[in-house]
Structure 1
């Protein structure tokens, strides 16, 4: 078989088409929702996917405050941060984090599923998370995706 006729496709910046996608997080498990959102942000759902390029869509997540965690994760799951001072470890439960900032759980979970490189920060700017059902992106006419 002659393999010289096969070429690996690599998207150019002029080839990339960005769409807007709306996802409702109400009663969705956090991990399953986040993996779908991260995949769309990367562009893995498109045939033009190129690993080193931002080929993904802009994603709007609404009702982030109504996302579900299974079992006792709401009280047992902890988020860690450090103040960079000695003894400055801070732990927050998922319940406290949801109370303080309803968008934190979804944003943090999606960012954790993106690649750990310079592209991740660029991809993260294409994510918009809102606590309630209202969002200011109606002019972009987002396509609604059911999970």
Structure 2
């Protein structure tokens, strides 16, 4: 009797690629969805939801991303020190001026699973504010979308 079996990719069998994404004039949310799909491995036909089968992503020019509408002044990022009254808020414009890498990281982090697998996949994201990056040795392919 023939029974169908689902394909399950083992993490050791996943061949990881490196992709280079230029964030110049890209909208933050649309950029983050593409990056999250690559990190999770959804662009790969061997995608398995419960394994880390995604690829590495290097993002350059994170300081040149853009927001639509009035989000640059209205969107707020929050962090808490853990003490009473320790809530700090920052607008997108301020965060983009101080730490542009953090804007892209926060957007992608929100689109990954909220568990240990998501944290593991986020480690494969490397974000740089300028045009230079430290991963030339990995020979990343340019990813266009």
TM > 0.5 between the two?
yes
Please name the residue that 1:69 is paired with: 67
How is 1:38-53 mapped onto 2 (pairs within 5 angstroms)?
Answer: 38-53=36-51
Query: Aligned partners of 1:134, 1:54: CA distance in 2, in Å?
Result: 27
Equivalenced residues, count: 145
Within the candidate set 108, 133, 136, 2:134 is matched to 136
Give the C-alpha shift of residue 27 in structure 1.
0.1
Please name the residue that 1:83 is paired with: 81
Residue 78 of structure 2: SS of its match in structure 1?
Answer: strand
Please name the residue that 1:145 is paired with: 143
Query: Aligned partners of 2:46, 2:111: CA distance in 1, in Å?
Result: 20
Query: Aligned partners of 2:4, 2:131: CA distance in 1, in Å?
Result: 47
Give the C-alpha shift of residue 7 in structure 1.
1.2
Q: TM-score, normalised by structure 1?
A: 0.95
Residue 103 of structure 1: SS of its match in structure 2?
Answer: helix
Give the C-alpha shift of residue 88 in structure 1.
1.4
Task: Give the gaps of 5 or more residues in structure 2.
Answer: none
Q: TM-score, normalised by structure 2?
A: 0.96
Give the C-alpha shift of residue 5 in structure 1.
3.5
Task: Give the gaps of 5 or more residues in structure 1.
Answer: none
Root-mean-square deviation over aligned CA pairs? 1.1
